[in-house]
Structure 1
């Protein structure tokens, strides 16, 4: 009986099959993770394109922007089947839901990304503002949603949120 174990232990029959199975498992695991990464990248690009399109549309109609329609525009442009709902916030000069087409109050964009209120539009911004900038009416569009991976366990990607933001000077 002991001689049979030694023979079995020295036998190399089936080694290639076992190695193939191990490598194939590794290959498919890496392929599935790559598919999720590709989907994340595509969805992030789609959201960036939608936010960029909304900002271009707002700039084109900067004197009469339809602020209430921007979230629907971004959602329609970026939506994909099976995707989580897209949250879109629109605000002006650092606020949320405060945009208007009349009686606009201008601000300067600071180096930290915040807004410094000013008295009039088009004036030169002082210290703390971006170099050579002029005061204006700034529109912020922020869109985000939770990425749902197809193959990676959700517990590993629970904080995967895709967010895109743009700021455009309207005036």
Structure 2
């Protein structure tokens, strides 16, 4: 319960985060279909530090790994009952004990689910960007270095911001 002396917290936008995760999965699936139709049978699946391909696989094998991961991880991250049924001792969140002692388990899990769904959606988008990178390489002889760095940097920055938001949201009022 929130006492009158404590500032009112903004509720997490858990639903908006779920919409983001679902939209990201759909975008990833769209890019997967595009990749399946457009990519040659053999594609580069690993690149050296200079951006040159140094390992090749079939597009079927690549999608056989990417589709379960690009859909499965965001789905796993988005299903609340999975996380709510875990023993609370396995969940490591900022100020967890503070919120549990005040009977705010629902708020704690709302924050967790917002975070998990955002990260899940970001993972789906990262997998989609990797398909674009691989497809770009399939059409040209070399790949600019920024093509691999930018999606990764965006993923890391956005995930860092999600961690910061979770931390700020769960910081106890003073």
Q: TM-score, normalized by length of structure 1?
A: 0.30
Q: TM-score, normalized by length of structure 2?
A: 0.30
- Is the strand fraction higher in 1 or 2? 1
Taking CA–CA contacts closer than 8 Å with sequence separation of 6 or more, which of the two structures ends up with the larger relative contact order? 2
- Is the helix fraction higher in 1 or 2? 2
Greater C-alpha Rg: 1
